[in-house]
Structure 1
Amino acid sequence: MSVSQITSSGKVLKSKRNSMTRPQSTVDDIYSNLRGDFENENITPAFKIRLHSLFRQIEKEFELLYQENQTLQEKIDILNEKIESQTFDKQNYDSVDFDNNVSKALAKKVSSSSSQKLKTAYKLKAQTSKIVSSFKAPHLTCNVVKEYAGHKDGVWEVSVSRTGQPIIGTASADHSACIWSIDNARCLLQYNGHNGSVNSVRFHPQKDLVLTASGDSTAHIWQAVVSWDLPKGHSSEEELEGSEECDESKSDTKIATLRTPVCELVGHSGPISSADWLAGADYVITASWDRTGMLHDIESHTTITTLTGHDLEITHAATHPSQKLAVTSSRDTTFRLWDFRETVQSVSVFQGHSESVTSAVFAKEDKVVSGSDDRTVKVWDLRNMRSPLATIRTDSAINRLSVSSTGVIAIPHDNRQVRLFDLTGQRLARLPRSSRQAGHGHNRMVACTAWADEPSNNINLFTCGFDRKVLGWSVQSVKDKEKEKDI
């Protein structure tokens, strides 16, 4: 994400980024910064009002320019897709003649060519076949099924419940975390206990507990007992602040709000970018912009150990689903594997990216998948960290990716794209991004993806971004789709 700072207010300061990223500074922020400089001057209230009005006009102009930029980008994407389609048809046609010609040429020159020349010719043919195979039609079909709208600022992360309940959690820069029904897209509970941007949300593997990390330098554990009928979000009615509207456009949609956590984890001196449950859920690992991670004991509410070693801010943390392993990603271009299976934790450093590592997650068969602002995704084997098994090169920075139980990588980008690859690096599909395509995707940076191991209402992939939307997708193989039609 190449984020330079996640402030306690939820605002994001980014380093140089492509033109599709919306400016995060608001008129109120600019005015409040200038206001301090004007305090010592004799400026009339009328002049201040005029100044604020001018800033409002400037913001509107920026918004219009941004919308025009989006429209032009969509036209460019449509043209690129046409070119890609034409290239695919041409490559398929030419590849037949090319392969035949190569075979004939090899047959004629076998007697006179050296062994080295033969190897070179076969290598050329193999490379050409690989290029042609990359233009094959997508293996998956992707359609939007549900939209979960209601947050008042960008959504940093989406997470799927591990207890089997059809619910998801979202973490937003609007200082709140929400629990949603997957099937009807209703917001069931809103947590307002943090004083800063909520940067991460993870469900307890067995209990109705949720772990959130915030820009206020704390991580909270709170009880997510939701009611599907009445707006009750906690066992104690006194802790409910009363019903509020989750979406201002839906006046009849009331939700319960909660402010009191079961446990508050402290100790970091900077914003906490991510937190997750260690296998067994007796411990929690937190990752912060103070360049350290921490291992916390849930029962005693104490910090067991501080994880040091990263040279720059830690951007993400993820744990292994069944073993006491964790990975932390950092702006120092590395990610680290932490092993807590023994009394003394051991650490391995993975180097291979050239820019900030935005996320690293565990995948099946002892693999780790990492994404970076260097526009690459790399697949690693935990047993051999010297070099990646596969490298996926893209045209935009990578945000918080996820890997399904079947090994499909969902890659969110700054340029609003979400691409799907397998663990060998083969491209499977791209999610629709604009209303001109089938379905409707995001129109701002996509911050995170999350897979559901048990699909509900045919939804098995969730995405969220800075257009304040969370989308539920149905991702199916082409063969499965054809079987459904036959049935």
Structure 2
Amino acid sequence: MKEIVSKKLISVRSKLNQLSERFGESVSIPTDLLAISNETTIGRKESGKKAIQMGQKLKTAFRVPPGKLVQSFKVGVSDGSRRFKYVRNFTGHRDGVWHVATSRGSQPVLASASADQTCLLWSLDSGCCLAQYSGHSGSVNAVAFSPLSVDPSDLTVATASGDHTAHLWKASVSGNSGVHHHHQIGSSEEEELPAERDLNNLNEENMAENDISEVSCIRQPLRRLTGHTGVVIAVDWIAGGEQIITASWDRTANIYDAERGEILNLLSGHDDELNYCSAHTSQKLVVTASRDSTFRLWDFREPIHSVAVFQGHNDSVTSVVFSATDKLVSGSDDRSIKVWDLRNMRSAIATVRLDSAINRLAISPKNFVAIPHDNRNVRVYDLNSVRITRLPRANGRSHRRMVCCAAWADDHAANDLITCGFDKQIIAWKTSTGKE
């Protein structure tokens, strides 16, 4: 019996080593499983019992998060340390950061929405804080730049809040002015992150307040969008920049006229709170995602509007994004993302099972999907090559709590992927995805 157990352990070790090499992550055998090989099996009855326990423990050892085993057969998985490099931290928020978004144009600006009831604007070029919006009386849950905002000196921004409203506001910033309070280091993973080391000995809230007090503060909105009876959890601009969609915990989504602030359409039908809404960049298509395990595609391209209900997830749908190639990608608390074809919406064309609940996805024009997780990891899924990569985690250069959202800054020279989390951090990364 002891020899059989030893052989099985050798087999387990071999397979787990192969998994570790494939995923670039550590996969270990439980210590209690290793201890079995040193136990003395006495008597037929006891050895039989241990054999049953052994079988159960072997099953447990291979009950790795679904993505690790499924992906090893369905998609290629690789370590991201060579393809994704840490660039800098943007420090300033006093509470968790729910959402990040980037503007278009030659001088892109980063916006961050936080539970500290503010939205901050940052320069992606210099890494400094440019402005603060403090007009909400509740958590700022989402932020979106108008597609017409291509000049930092004339930005129109929409924010969604726990105060049951969405706000439209204007900001005029210079792409490189503002207050520097980021931490930037090289990309070597062997160095220790000074900011991470020092931050533990500082009062983060006081440090953030002192820095933010030096930037211009916008306190009044251009327009308040009212009508929801619950938390407004998401906001986006519909193609053309003349209309805005909001999603709320009151189970509805509203479409507003951006100029007048009037409700043009009320989208109802979900059976539970909404988590997210998103609009196609060039067509009058919007999606709403809900805790009812479904998401809906609303088509406003024709005078007679239509809606399609997507069922496939078995837990809350946390976000849905449009790709540049007529596809939708949905993420869920069921630990999976699904890819859907807009031309054939009956069922998902691909399912990627992962090891943690998924939050707000982001997709680049080159079809790379950034996947933020509850377990502090961020993965990037390539729709073209069907490969998945995990962003590196080394010496504090990563999130310490749930990662809430990701945003792409297309082809930015210094950093083209931004992630944010409930640890108050905003992290910029440089990717090499475009070179492969």
- TM score, norm. by length of structure 2: 0.74
Question: 1:451 maps to which residue?
Answer: 408
148, 153, 158: which one pairs with 1:211?
A: 158
143, 163, 166: which one pairs with 1:201?
A: 143
How is 1:324-403 mapped onto 2 (pairs within 5 angstroms)?
324-403=284-363
2:412 is paired with a residue of what secondary structure?
strand
Letter in 2 for 1:285: I
Q: 2:125, 2:176 within 8 Å by CA — same for their partners in 1?
A: no
Letter in 1 for 2:105: T
State the alpha-carbon separation in 2 of the partners of residues 252 and 215 from structure 1: 25
1:146 is paired with a residue of what secondary structure?
strand
1:453 is paired with a residue of what secondary structure?
coil
Letter in 1 for 2:159: T
Q: 1:139, 1:478 within 8 Å by CA — same for their partners in 2?
A: no
Superposition deviation, residue 372 in structure 1: 0.1
Question: 1:288 maps to which residue?
Answer: 248
Q: 1:150, 1:247 within 8 Å by CA — same for their partners in 2?
A: no
State the alpha-carbon separation in 1 of the partners of residues 134 and 413 from structure 2: 27
State the alpha-carbon separation in 1 of the partners of residues 77 and 280 from structure 2: 34
State the alpha-carbon separation in 1 of the partners of residues 157 and 96 from structure 2: 20
Taking a change above 3 Å as real, the CA distance of residues 129 and 213 of structure 1, as seen in their structure-2 partners, is: closer
What does the per-residue CA deviation read over 1:355-388, in whole Å, with 9 as the maximum and x for residues that have no partner? Answer: 0000000002110000000000000001111111
Question: 1:463 maps to which residue?
Answer: 419
Structure with the bigger percentage of helix: 1
Letter in 2 for 1:322: S
Taking a change above 3 Å as real, the CA distance of residues 137 and 227 of structure 1, as seen in their structure-2 partners, is: closer
70, 75, 87: which one pairs with 1:145?
A: 87
Aligned length: 348
What does the per-residue CA deviation read over 1:313-371, in whole Å, with 9 as the maximum and x for residues that have no partner? Answer: 01000000000110000000000001111233211111000000000000021100000
Question: 2:196 maps to which residue?
Answer: none
Letter in 2 for 1:360: V
Letter in 1 for 2:89: E
Q: 1:151, 1:468 within 8 Å by CA — same for their partners in 2?
A: yes
Taking a change above 3 Å as real, the CA distance of residues 160 and 351 of structure 1, as seen in their structure-2 partners, is: same
- The reply on whether 1:180 has 2:137 as its aligned counterpart is no
Question: 2:227 maps to which residue?
Answer: 267
- The reply on whether 1:85 has 2:20 as its aligned counterpart is yes
Q: Which has the larger radius of gyration?
A: 1
Superposition deviation, residue 165 in structure 1: 2.3
Question: 1:37 maps to which residue?
Answer: none
How is 1:68-147 mapped onto 2 (pairs within 5 angstroms)?
84-86=19-21, 131=73, 134=76, 141-147=83-89
State the alpha-carbon separation in 2 of the partners of residues 162 and 132 from structure 1: 35
Q: 2:78, 2:388 within 8 Å by CA — same for their partners in 1?
A: no
Letter in 2 for 1:451: W
370, 376, 379: which one pairs with 1:416?
A: 376
Gaps of 5+ in 2: 1-14, 25-68, 150-154, 180-203
- The reply on whether 1:167 has 2:109 as its aligned counterpart is yes
State the alpha-carbon separation in 2 of the partners of residues 150 and 128 from structure 1: 39
Letter in 2 for 1:214: S
- TM score, norm. by length of structure 1: 0.67
2:343 is paired with a residue of what secondary structure?
coil
Residue identity (%): 49
Letter in 1 for 2:401: R
Question: 2:278 maps to which residue?
Answer: 318
Superposition deviation, residue 136 in structure 1: 5.9
Gaps of 5+ in 1: 1-79, 90-126, 233-244, 481-487
Cα RMSD for the two superposed structures: 2.9
State the alpha-carbon separation in 1 of the partners of residues 226 and 94 from structure 2: 27
Q: 2:94, 2:208 within 8 Å by CA — same for their partners in 1?
A: no
Superposition deviation, residue 222 in structure 1: 0.4
Letter in 2 for 1:186: C
Superposition deviation, residue 397 in structure 1: 0.2
Superposition deviation, residue 191 in structure 1: 0.2
Taking a change above 3 Å as real, the CA distance of residues 311 and 252 of structure 1, as seen in their structure-2 partners, is: closer
Letter in 2 for 1:385: M
Q: 2:22, 2:72 within 8 Å by CA — same for their partners in 1?
A: no
State the alpha-carbon separation in 1 of the partners of residues 82 and 134 from structure 2: 38
State the alpha-carbon separation in 1 of the partners of residues 81 and 351 from structure 2: 20
259, 275, 278: which one pairs with 1:299?
A: 259
